[in-house]
């Protein structure tokens, strides 16, 4: 049986299935967008415009601009059909974050100051993959224009560099070309389970340069296997960093379930919603739901992947809850339904740490409303 919205063109609206009025769903999405991207609620805003038709998404917890946030902002803008915001963010990114020279030529600096000054001259691959996917969607939804708004060509060039790194194949690739797994950063031989987006790679396999398409199709298969491998078999918890065999990598203290790890649940759900592949590790969502079902959000902590808690509280409890709710997109259980219902009634996070939580919140909101969609040519 053919499953997944890529084949059926039908998206699951879990809110509607639970009896929430469609107008209320649409109003909540619009209100959330306006609170994050306009002056409607200055205390919640994360998007700011600058001169020369540019704009940036600020990481309010670190007071910088990251490729993560810029690429997330572009994805949100294309999902909301807002080409103006999309183009402003992309222009700021190309102007300030793109690296013109050095070992990382052709990649984007992962962190900049609010005035565009680079804080680092290294990239983070999760930014590149979100840039590429949002650019493909923009190409199909808005239509290509003159550079740098020739979206499709820009996306294909990003992916080419990720695998070949320049005209002379110099520098480090962002994926291991032998095992098809994304790296945490180009120079290392380990991964971050939350970077794995098999649903993106399936589409890269349709739209990337023809010579690269087989790689991306295989990367989708390998990433589904890796997500299952890295998640603990009882708790479902994934480490932030993991070796290629899936075991936690504790370098710099990142081998535990913490902020990056939260995204795994949403990634699994979207992958299954879009492609319905039988190898999508849905059991990881079930284990996560079981692990957290009796834990109040106020008590969320850092955890070893076996579930042992640390004293350190979660930095982004709203973001974690939002991703658990997103798991309900593809799991129709009593626990999943409770997460989805409670999430719909949950407000955005306030305060300095709001950026990451509210990005995860908005993606979950779109997904559960059946409005985190693919746009094809």
Q: Which positions are annotated as active-site residues?
A: 68, 260
Tokens for 348? 């955005």
Q: How far apart are CA 50 and CA 58, in angstroms?
A: 12
Is the Cα dihedral 39, 43, 45, 51 positive or negative? Answer: positive
Q: 64 φ, ψ to 5°?
A: -140, 175
Measured at the alpha carbon of residue 49, what is the angle toward residues 43 and 54, in degrees to the nearest 5?
A: 150
Rounded Cα distance, 247 and 46, in Å: 35
Strand partners, 98: 108
Strand (E) or helix (H) holding 64? strand 64-66
Q: What is the DSSP letter of 281?
A: -
46, 102, 53, 100: which is closest to 69 by C-alpha?
Answer: 46
Pairing label, strands 309-313, 301-303: antiparallel
Q: Buried b / exposed e across 296-332, counting CB within 10 Å, b at 16+?
A: eeeebbbbbbeeeeeeeebebbbbbbbbbbbbbbbbe
- Report the 10 Å Cβ neighbour count for 22: 11
| 302: nearest Cα among 368, 257, 245 | 257
């Amino acid at each position: 049986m053919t499953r997944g919205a890529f084949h059926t063109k039908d998206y699951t609206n879990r809110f509607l299935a639970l009896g929430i009025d469609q107008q209320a769903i649409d109003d909540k999405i619009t209100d959330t967008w306006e609170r994050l991207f306009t002056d409607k609620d200055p205390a919640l805003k994360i998007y700011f415009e600058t001169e020369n038709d540019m704009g940036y998404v600020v990481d309010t917890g670190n007071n910088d601009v990251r490729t993560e946030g810029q690429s997330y902002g572009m994805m949100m803008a294309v999902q909301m059909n807002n080409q103006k915001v999309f183009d402003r963010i992309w222009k700021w990114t190309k102007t300030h974050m793109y690296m013109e020279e050095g070992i990382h030529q052709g990649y984007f600096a992962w962190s900049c100051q609010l005035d565009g000054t680079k804080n680092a001259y290294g990239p983070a691959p999760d930014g590149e993959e979100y840039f590429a996917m949002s650019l493909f969607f923009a190409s199909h939804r808005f239509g290509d224009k003159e550079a740098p708004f020739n979206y499709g060509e820009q996306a294909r060039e990003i992916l080419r560099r990720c695998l070949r790194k320049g005209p002379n194949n110099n520098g480090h690739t962002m994926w291991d070309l032998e095992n098809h797994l994304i790296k945490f950063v180009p120079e290392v031989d380990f991964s971050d389970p939350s970077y794995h987006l098999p649903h993106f790679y399936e589409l890269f396999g349709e739209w990337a340069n023809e010579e690269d398409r087989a790689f991306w199709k295989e990367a989708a298969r390998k990433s589904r296997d890796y997500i299952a491998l890295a998640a603990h078999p009882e708790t479902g918890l994934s480490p932030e960093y993991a070796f290629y065999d899936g075991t936690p990598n504790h370098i710099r203290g990142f081998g535990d379930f913490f902020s990056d790890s939260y995204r795994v649940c949403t990634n699994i759900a979207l992958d299954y919603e879009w492609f319905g592949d039988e190898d999508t590790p849905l059991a990881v969502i079930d284990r996560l739901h079981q692990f957290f079902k009796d834990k109040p959000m106020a008590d969320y902590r850092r955890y070893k992947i076996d579930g042992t808690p640390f004293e350190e509280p979660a930095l982004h409890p709203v973001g974690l809850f939002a991703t658990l709710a997103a798991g309900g997109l593809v799991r129709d259980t009593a626990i999943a339904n409770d997460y989805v219902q409670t999430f719909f009634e949950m407000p955005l996070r306030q305060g300095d740490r709001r950026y990451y939580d509210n990005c995860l919140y908005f993606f979950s909101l779109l997904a559960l409303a059946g409005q985190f969609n693919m746009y094809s040519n």
